[in-house]
Each structure stands twice: as C-alpha cells, then as structure tokens.
Amino acid sequence: MAPTKIIECTKCGNLMLIADTQKSRACPYCGTRIEARRALVLAAAEDAFTASKVLRELKEHKKFKHDSLSTR
C-alpha cells in the first residue's frame, strides 16, 4: 500500500486523505480541487488504513475544539 497523507481543504477546512501518488484531490465536502504539493499536511501514515484511524482521531479532536468554543 502507498503512503497516505491527511490534508486540510484550503476552502472549507475539512480534513481528508490523499495518497502519495495523487497529484490532486477534490474535497468531498465542498468540491474544491486541492493540489497535493500545496496542501497543508497534518499527518502521514504508511498506509491508508492507519491514516484513516488518525483522520478519525483528528476529526474528533477538531469537533471537540469547535464544540467547546461554541458553548462560551
């Protein structure tokens, strides 16, 4: 399996996976096309399965941060 990165959408800020072999990817949330070489890489893993686990943890942490800010 190819190494996989977790990147952030430049428009909506949502997180997604991108394989090292991909040059670009459309955000599944807003449709923005993101170039891999310009993307903000938050984490990387040796395979998609591990990257997916890390992505879930990052999304949960991000949700927690947003929820705690909205209750103030």
| Of 54, 21, 51, 48, the residue nearest 37 (C-alpha) | 21
| Structure-model confidence comparison of residues 68 and 14, the more confident one | 14
pLDDT grade for 18, boundaries at 50, 70 and 90: very high
Complete DSSP assignment for 26-45: E-TTT--EEEGGGSEEEEEE
Chain segment 25-43, per-residue pLDDT in tens: 999 999 999 999 999 999 9
Round the average pLDDT of the chain to a whole number and report it: 88
